Copies of this chain bind each other. A is one copy, B any other.
Amino acid sequence: MSANSFGSRFRITSFGESHGVALGAIVEGCPAGVTFDMSLITSELARRRPGQNGIVSGRNEEDAPEVLSGVFEGKTLGTPIAVIVRNKDARSEDYKEIAFSPRAGHADDLWRSKFGHSDHRGGGRSSGRETVARVIGGAIAQMVLREAAPSLRVFAFASQIGPVKLDDAEVLEVEKRLVGREIAVDQFSSRFPHVVKNAEIEEMLLKAKAEGRSYGGEVQVFIANSPMGLGQPVFHKLKSDLAAAFMSVGATAGVELGDGREVMEAEGSEFHRQTDQRQYGGIRGGISTGEPILLRVFFKPTATVLDVAKKGRHDPCIVIRAIPVLESMAWMVMADHLLWARQDRI
């Protein structure tokens, strides 16, 4: 188990510093013969990209992926797939002062104490920029699942940004409309799928960005049409791997499955008699039931909001750009467990 790898059968290794030469991912375990869709990597990276609209960081990165290996004549080879993205707008001189004054809420001081030698430029490896690797991995996982579980779909959307929330009924409604393809999350600038509230959030975040303020929020992750039987006993329960995946993303403060903390108040004999099955969040005993898999992830307000942020390079709410990252992590976990299940029976 290496510190920068994730997954058992479908496995990503992430590398690259925020202000280094390049970031990238090595994907291992992708079977041979998968149709490789370069445009999917590009479009998913664009969804994560800073500068995509006015309410996210203004760092200007083209994030053009280059595939170095593992693909031939439009199909995967079964060999490691290496994809890199070069850093362009790495104004590391902006960060010189950080060498001497660690930023609140960041880990600069901890890294220095841990490693002795560290990269003070924009957080180095603990920067959110590292998630480029995850989006690459997620896109490749998605290619695998397109062929191995074609109806499986992963959606994530914001259900809270700062004080603005969707209520439970609205969440249900959104899920239904997403599955029915009536709406798409990316129609909404803050990925908060509610026309009026999204406008409200947009205004709030523009103001916050100007003033060096920030907000946290909540993301719903919804996995439709998962095959039944995914997940491993004991330590690699599907819920455990998904929790690890999501909590490995920066600024996360919690994750809930299904009804989450509400389940605490339920009485058991009634709880387990519910017929919509939402109470289990699509996972029982660590194994997918075939019903929709439902998780929620909480995010702290972005840390970098003061001095440095005044230069316009940070996000007033990281939730917006974290959504494709959470989706990517979910795609990878699902691909991993789907391939793992090939070994279930003789």
Q: Mark A307-346, 1 if CB is under 8 A from B, else 0.
A: 0000000000000000000000000000000011111111
Whether B342 pairs with A342 at a CB distance below 8 angstroms is yes
Residues from chain B with Cβ under 8 Å of A237 in the complex: 247-248
**Is A223 an interface residue, CB under 8 A from the partner?**
no
Residue of B nearest to A73 (CB): B117
Residue of B nearest to A75 (CB): B117
Whether A29 pairs with B343 at a CB distance below 8 angstroms is yes
Contact among B21, B208, B339 for A69, CB-based, below 8 A: B21
**Is A263 an interface residue, CB under 8 A from the partner?**
yes
Residues from chain B with Cβ under 8 Å of A208 in the complex: 267
Residues from chain B with Cβ under 8 Å of A148 in the complex: 346
A295 CB, min distance to chain B CBs, angstroms: 9
Residue of B nearest to A146 (CB): B346
Count chain B CB atoms within 10 A of each CB in A73, A107, A241 and give the residue with the most.
Answer: A107
**Is A62 an interface residue, CB under 8 A from the partner?**
no
Given the known inter-chain contacts A26-B13, A268-B301, please indicate yes or no for A125 contacting B289, CB distance below 8 A.
no
**Is A113 an interface residue, CB under 8 A from the partner?**
yes
Given the known inter-chain contacts A104-B272, A214-B269, A240-B247, please indicate yes or no for A124 contacting B72, CB distance below 8 A.
yes
**Is A163 an interface residue, CB under 8 A from the partner?**
yes
Residues from chain B with Cβ under 8 Å of A80 in the complex: 4, 13-16
Given the known inter-chain contacts A105-B272, A213-B268, A266-B301, please indicate yes or no for A235 contacting B114, CB distance below 8 A.
no
Whether B289 pairs with A110 at a CB distance below 8 angstroms is yes
Residue of B nearest to A288 (CB): B110
Residues from chain B with Cβ under 8 Å of A3 in the complex: 8, 28-29, 232-236, 340
Whether B4 pairs with A235 at a CB distance below 8 angstroms is yes
Contact among B234, B240, B342, B344 for A125, CB-based, below 8 A: B234
**Is A5 an interface residue, CB under 8 A from the partner?**
yes
**Is A2 an interface residue, CB under 8 A from the partner?**
yes
Q: Which of A31-39, A50-58, A169-177, A180-188 faces chain B?
A: A31-39
**Is A64 an interface residue, CB under 8 A from the partner?**
no
**Is A42 an interface residue, CB under 8 A from the partner?**
no
Residues from chain B with Cβ under 8 Å of A253 in the complex: 256-261, 263-264, 281
Residues from chain B with Cβ under 8 Å of A345 in the complex: 31-33, 78, 115-116
Give Cα A68–Cα B296 distance, bound, in whole angstroms: 35
Residues from chain B with Cβ under 8 Å of A260 in the complex: 253-254, 298
**Is A154 an interface residue, CB under 8 A from the partner?**
no
**Is A67 an interface residue, CB under 8 A from the partner?**
yes
**Is A47 an interface residue, CB under 8 A from the partner?**
no
Contact among B82, B114, B261 for A341, CB-based, below 8 A: B114
Q: Mark A240-284, 1 if CB is under 8 A from B, else 0.
A: 111111111010111111111101111111011100000111001
Q: Mark A9-47, 1 if CB is under 8 A from B, else 0.
A: 101011111001111101011011110000000000000
Residues from chain B with Cβ under 8 Å of A82 in the complex: 15-16, 22, 24, 84
Given the known inter-chain contacts A33-B346, A272-B303, A342-B342, please indicate yes or no for A16 contacting B68, CB distance below 8 A.
yes
Residues from chain B with Cβ under 8 Å of A9 in the complex: 343
Residues from chain B with Cβ under 8 Å of A266 in the complex: 216, 300-301
